[in-house]
A and B are shown apart, each in its own frame.
Chain A
Amino acid sequence: MYRYDQYDQAMVDARVEEFRDQARRRLEGKLTEDQFKPLRLMNGLYLQLHAYMLRVAIPYGTLDARQLEMLADIADKYDRGYGHFTTRQNIQYNWIKLDDCADALADLATVEMHAIQTSGNCIRNISSDHFAGAAADEVVDPRPYAELMRQWSSFHPEFTYLPRKFKIAVIASEKDRAAMRLHDIGVRIVQRDGAIGAEFYAGGGMGRTPMIAPLIRDFVPIDQFITYAEACLRVYNRYGRRDNKYKARIKILVHELGAAEYIRQVEEEFAHMLSVGVEPPREELERIKAFFAPPPFVSSEVETQSLSTMLEANGGQGSAFGQWVRRNTHAHKAPGYVSAVISLKPAGGIPGDATSEQMRVVARLAREYSFDELRVMHTQNLLLPHVAIADLPAVWQALDAAGLGAANMDTIEDIIACPGLDYCSLANARSIPLAQRISERFAETGRTEVVGELKLKISGCINACGHHHAGHIGILGVDKKGTENYQLSLGGSEAEDVSLAKITGPGFDEDGVIAAVEKVTDVYLASRAEGERFLDTYRRIGMEPFKEALYG
């Protein structure tokens, strides 16, 4: 895992002091709220419906036990004993007091953490594949490249007052587990003729005008990686729209110019930037890579165990443990290991919430069973990336005892939901209670298992924080004459088969939309061919049969 040196630490410490000073000037009346707002936003401090929210960055979703324990302590000390993990691999606290904020940031700095650039019109925390460094299918570990970008984008002097927020994701396999093409810039690290380079996509995003990012370059040599990113950002900073907040994201620029023209401008700027020399020295990437060296896996055949042998010895496939192993573990590049998903989606629970006690349990498990490493997933779950198969029974028992044993990864219970009307001042409708009712319903009727992979995503308004455009089933809260109403859409995906969901038709009230979700799963179960997921069936048979069932 990456470790700060004295420079990284000094940068974060300086930022805490800077924020303390800004808060002081705000209190002394030297800064107006308008002037203070972008400064507090750049330190992750949002004003919500009831209180301030603090968003803490978890760069590319990787953290260690000590850091998670600090997140638990902060939840106890400054919040109400819990935190909320987000779709961009961050954690949010919903009940922070302005007076406490600088102290919370100082506590975070002691474990190499911060809230820098987690909001505001700047380059946000870089996200990545949650299985990075563990996945059997990756070309390389994408995190060193994400770390290089983290350093480049932190306190960037030219790109701190962009037209709008800017989100970057970096992955390194064909499979996309980071919604890469729904980011302002998506990067896929690739190998060509033995050389490492980067594919760049630009102009993706959700919000009110969802767009899938087009490919803008199929290979940027790795020793020009930062230079190319700088060129992309400069063109956006100069020409992105600033007249209308809803048209200010890079997706609108790329769309209005056309990808070809945006590419032309970037290439021109890139050629110029190469002559300026902004690329960090080559040795820096090598230095960073050393931090991400694989942990010392046990590799001899005697000591590693196969999944099937282990399962047989522990109650078999059908046991609760067996189901969890089947659902929540993922193939690892080292023999005898898997990655184990810790679901923060208990049936009837609040998606992505974890109590401080749960965080401490997970931290202990990471220390004991996963080389002191943890991940936050974009699906709002946690992950132990490197678990020896032989240790799975012990891990599961501890998780189950802490209420973290749900075997529902990528099922309809694994819902992504935004905070919605329970917290958010922009919301039209509640998201969390709806997610709770749907997961409860499907768990009770036993449908979850029958239906299999089905990604359901809920946003409380058109801003799409809950990724509803990218859900196999998406639900959007709309305001209908002052009452909460929900629009249903089908066929989205944020993965490598990326697509945007289409609206089924008129909306529903809360009970109605739950019934509607059940009806569309009925259609799927009646029509599915062997091996088809909900999404595959939808793509094969189209919208009509679903409409017929809903409105016919």
Chain B
Amino acid sequence: MGNARDLGTSPDEVQFRFRDDEPVDHAAVTVDSCCDQTNATAVRIEPGDDARVLLPFLDRLALVEVNFPVFGDGRGYSAARILREAGYTGELRAVGDVLIDQLSHMRRCGFDSFAPDKRLDEEDAMRAFATWENVYQRAADARRTIADKRHEA
């Protein structure tokens, strides 16, 4: 996996962030290194990685980057939800081939920052984040679903 210092996106590359804390500003390590290195606080997940191997280390992680080398590979959506379901509260950043039309789904799966390879049109992106006023499924964002609203007492 080469030099760990080369890995990861810097705060400058983050185009959208839905958190108030200070972003981590050092490089991320691979999932393998993260398991070996007891002090790593930022890690980068590739599509073939099993997000569950990170579960023992969630307490010390402040940033998890999930890489989308091509937008059509949807494994990162499952990785994100798995981390949130396990109680991870740090930054979850979608990086790589992140496009306008994936933003709202990524947000629902628990991503709270976005560092696309190619900067996105701000206006189009804001419209995309706001596309779905309501949602059918329960997911990582804890939004009340349409069914919940239908049956609220």
Which A residues fall within an 8 A CB radius of B? 5, 7-8, 10-11, 14, 18, 21-22, 25, 30, 35, 38-39, 121, 151-152, 154-162, 234, 237-238, 242, 272, 276-278, 280-281, 283-284, 287
Contact = CB atoms under 8 A, between A and B. Distances in A.
B150 A157 contact: no
A316 to B, nearest CB: 53
Contact of A283 (B78, B101, B127, B151): B151
Contacts of A238: 50, 75, 78
A281 B137 contact: no
Contact of B100 (A14, A25, A159): A25
Given A30-B124, A121-B72, A161-B73, A276 B137 contact: no
Contact of A272 (B71, B85, B105, B148): B85
A30 B121 contact: yes
21 contacts: A14-B132, A14-B133, A35-B71, A155-B132, A157-B135, A158-B74, A158-B77, A160-B74, A160-B105, A161-B72, A234-B78, A238-B78, A242-B47, A272-B85, A276-B85, A278-B139, A280-B145, A281-B147, A281-B151, A284-B147, A284-B150
Nearest to B139: A157
A26 to B, nearest CB: 11
B81 interface: yes
Contact of B151 (A11, A157, A277, A284): A284
B69 to A, nearest CB: 11
B60 interface: no
A283 B145 CA distance: 13
Interface in B70-106: 71-75, 77-78, 81, 85, 99-102, 104-106
Nearest to A275: B85
Interface string B116-141: 00000100100100011111111100
B34 interface: no
Nearest to A8: B146
B139 A158 contact: yes
Contact of A151 (B47, B74, B136, B148): B136
Contacts of B108: 157
Given A7-B149, A158-B78, A238-B78, A18 B131 contact: yes
B126 to A, nearest CB: 12
B99 to A, nearest CB: 6
Interface of B: 47, 50, 71-75, 77-78, 81, 85, 99-102, 104-106, 108-109, 121, 124, 127, 131-139, 145-151
A281 B151 CA distance: 8
Given A11-B146, A238-B50, A276-B138, 15 more contacts: A7-B134, A7-B149, A18-B131, A25-B124, A39-B101, A155-B132, A157-B108, A234-B78, A242-B47, A242-B75, A280-B147, A281-B147, A281-B151, A284-B151, A287-B151
Given A155-B132, A157-B105, A242 B73 contact: yes
Chain A to chain B: the 3 pairs with minimum beta-carbon distance, closest first:
A161-B74, A157-B108, A157-B105
Contacts of A283: 150-151
A25 B120 CA distance: 12
Q: Which of B101, B133, B135, B148 has the most CB of A within 10 A?
A: B101
B74 A159 contact: yes
A30 B138 CA distance: 32
Contacts of A155: 105, 132, 135-136
A10 B152 CA distance: 19
Nearest to B105: A157
Given A10-B134, A283-B151, A287-B151, A21 B127 contact: yes
B130 to A, nearest CB: 10
A11 B127 CA distance: 15
Contact of A237 (B74, B127, B138): B74
Contacts of B147: 151, 280-281, 284
Contacts of A284: 147, 150-151
A25 B124 CA distance: 9
B133 A10 contact: yes
A161 B71 contact: yes
A157 B77 contact: yes
B137 A157 contact: yes
Nearest to B106: A157
Contacts of A10: 133-134
Contacts of A281: 147-148, 151
Nearest to B104: A157
Given A152-B136, A277-B138, A157 B109 contact: yes
A279 to B, nearest CB: 8
Contacts of A5: 150
A162 B72 CA distance: 8
A158 B108 CA distance: 8
Contacts of A152: 136-137
A5 B134 CA distance: 13
Contacts of B134: 7, 10-11
Contacts of B74: 121, 158-162, 237
Contacts of A154: 136
B18 to A, nearest CB: 15
A158 B99 CA distance: 16
B75 A237 contact: yes
A291 to B, nearest CB: 13
Contacts of B121: 30
A467 B121 CA distance: 44
A161 B78 CA distance: 10
B133 to A, nearest CB: 6
A278 B109 contact: no
A233 B135 CA distance: 19
B129 to A, nearest CB: 12
Contacts of B132: 11, 14, 155
A184 to B, nearest CB: 15
